[in-house]
Amino acid sequence: MNTCLYEGLVHHRRCEPVEHAFTYRVWMAYLDLEELPGALDSVRGFSARRPALARFKRSDYFGDPAVALIDAVRERAATHGAVRVLTNLRTFGHIFNPVSFYYCFDRAGALDAVLTEVTNTPWGERHSYVLREGGAPMGKAFHVSPFMHMHHSYTWELPAPGESLSAEIAARPVFEARLALKRRELSPSVLRRGPMSLRVLAGIYGQAVRLKLKGAPYFPHPERAA
């Protein structure tokens, strides 16, 4: 079974215009969309069909909820093989995903593309990028942090997951973020740590306060500044 958990650390670092860095411990679900709902429903506390402490709910993710998620992702990424998503589940009734990574494989099993779905807060807007190996840096097309302006280009490093999983996004020399995770079996023991999504959201707002106190300049949402 490909469906599992990944646990480890998320690192963020800013170098300009103020120095700021933090590291948090996280766990995320890695779901083979062809294995749902059975892969989740077989583990106590998890479900893809009904309310649960950790739930996969179709409307929380990319595209039209009336379309199967695997079909929506394949169409957007122009791929035809397996799709496996690294994401936060809806835990204890709450969901927030700063970014979900949809790893899209070809029919031979090689990684073909990664669709990244980014969500901002407090606006709840979503934007997706399709990334392929060797692709050029991508211009910022979506307002995420009010402490970073829109005039950046990002590079992404997203190798295929294995026993370890790494993911990096950078707008050097200003900013870089990195996930460094290890594969674990799907287990209800992670639910003892409480609602992962709320912890993520609390961390975002806590770090925003710290940036403000350090004097980081504020950039309002370009479409909502009026």
pLDDT tens string 109-125: 999 999 999 998 887 88
Q: Which whole number is the average pLDDT over 168-176?
A: 87
Give me the chain's average pLDDT, please: 90
Q: Which whole number is the average pLDDT over 147-172?
A: 86
pLDDT digits (tens, 9 = 90+) for 75-99: 999 999 999 999 999 999 999 999 9
Where helices occur in 21-137 by DSSP H, the ranges are: 38-41, 69-77
Rounded CA-CA distance 200/159 in Å is 24
- Quick check: helix, strand or coil at residue 213? helix
Rounded CA-CA distance 167/63 in Å is 23
| Contact predicate 212/218, CB 8 Å | yes
Rounded CA-CA distance 147/216 in Å is 6
Question: Which of the pair, 133 or 91, is modelled with greater confidence?
Answer: 91
Confidence of residue 211 (pLDDT cuts 50, 70, 90): confident
Rounded CA-CA distance 123/101 in Å is 20
Rounded CA-CA distance 206/135 in Å is 34
Type of residue found at 163: E
Question: At residue 158, does pLDDT exceed 80?
Answer: yes
Identify the top-confidence range among 56-60, 127-131, 195-199: 56-60
Question: Which of the pair, 192 or 217, is modelled with greater confidence?
Answer: 192
Domain extents for the chain? Answer: 4-213
For tokens 């069909």, the residue is: 49
| Contact predicate 74/112, CB 8 Å | no
Rounded CA-CA distance 69/74 in Å is 9
Q: Which two tokens stand for residue 77?
A: 């990424």
| Contact predicate 86/101, CB 8 Å | yes
Distances (CA, A) of 146 to 120, 198, 213, 221: 10, 20, 14, 7
Question: At residue 10, does pLDDT exceed 60?
Answer: yes
pLDDT, residue 53, reads 96
Confidence of residue 140 (pLDDT cuts 50, 70, 90): low
Residues, the chain, total?
Answer: 226
Rounded CA-CA distance 143/65 in Å is 24
Q: Which two tokens stand for residue 67?
A: 């379309």
pLDDT, residue 174, reads 84
pLDDT, residue 142, reads 66
What is the value of pTM for the model shown? 0.93
Rounded CA-CA distance 92/86 in Å is 19
Q: Which whole number is the average pLDDT over 148-162?
A: 83
Q: How does strand 126-131 pair with strand 4-14? A: unpaired
Question: At residue 106, does pLDDT exceed 70?
Answer: yes
Rounded CA-CA distance 167/214 in Å is 28
